[in-house]
Amino acid sequence: MNETSAPPYDLAQATADLTAADAVLGDLIAAVGPCTLEIRAHEPFVALLRAIVYQQLSGKAAGTIHGRVLALFGAEVLSPEALLAVPDEALRGAGLSRAKTRAVKDLAEKTLDGTVPDQTALQPLTNEEVIERLTAVRGVGPWTVEMLLMFTLGRPDVLPVADLGVRHGYRLLYDHDELPSPSALRAHGERWRPWRSVASWYLWRAVDRAR
């Protein structure tokens, strides 16, 4: 399932609040227009599998490999049990590196043992608790979980301070000579609460507009 939908919060309210809180960001919001952030409501297992496959690859190459991995399952539903039944050699043949093969198998095992819960079980957890739980999976770091929080779980207040696009957008928007440190970006971003996901989306657009 690849259907996208609007996130479960009020984007218009978010942009109004951000404009009131930060005039410089407000100018960008006015120039870009309404936020069109969308989410894909996958289960965490499916979303993290895709994230692991896509790591450190161009979108086109990653999409090809992801398609080959999914093709290994045929008509069978993609599940942790099904993934564990696929030989490592088949995953390598689909284009996964040895490290990514180990990572997706670890993801499947940790989904089955409950370390990686389903989407319903994640909902009551804070962002920090979700990051702590899911970074227990081999090859899954905080940034990967932050993307899941934003684009799978639809959390409104995520600021991925290590994301180069967000940092570059901040540098452009606020006319700094150098990229902000993660701590400096986090400090400035306090004024964007509780809509830091939307602020991040606009910082990515700042980079797009500069190209």
User: What CATH number has the domain spanning 11-39+157-210?
Assistant: 1.10.1670.40
Pick one of 3.40.50.300, 1.10.340.30, 3.50.50.60, 3.90.25.10 as the CATH number of 44-151. Answer: 1.10.340.30
CA dihedral 147, 201, 42, 58 (to 10 degrees): -70
Confidence of residue 77 (pLDDT cuts 50, 70, 90): confident
> 157 and 194 in contact (C-beta within 8 Å)?
yes
C-alpha span between 114 and 107 (Å, rounded): 10
Among the listed residues 22, 106, 157, 163, the single catalytic one is 163
Active site residue 175: no
pLDDT at 202 over 60: yes
Tokens of 191: 């004024």
- Residue 62 belongs to what H/E stretch? helix 59-71
Confidence of residue 57 (pLDDT cuts 50, 70, 90): confident
pLDDT at 204 over 80: yes
Confidence of residue 1 (pLDDT cuts 50, 70, 90): very low
**Domain coordinates in residue numbering, the chain:** 11-39+157-210, 44-151
Pick from 1-10, 84-93, 103-112, 147-156: least confident: 1-10
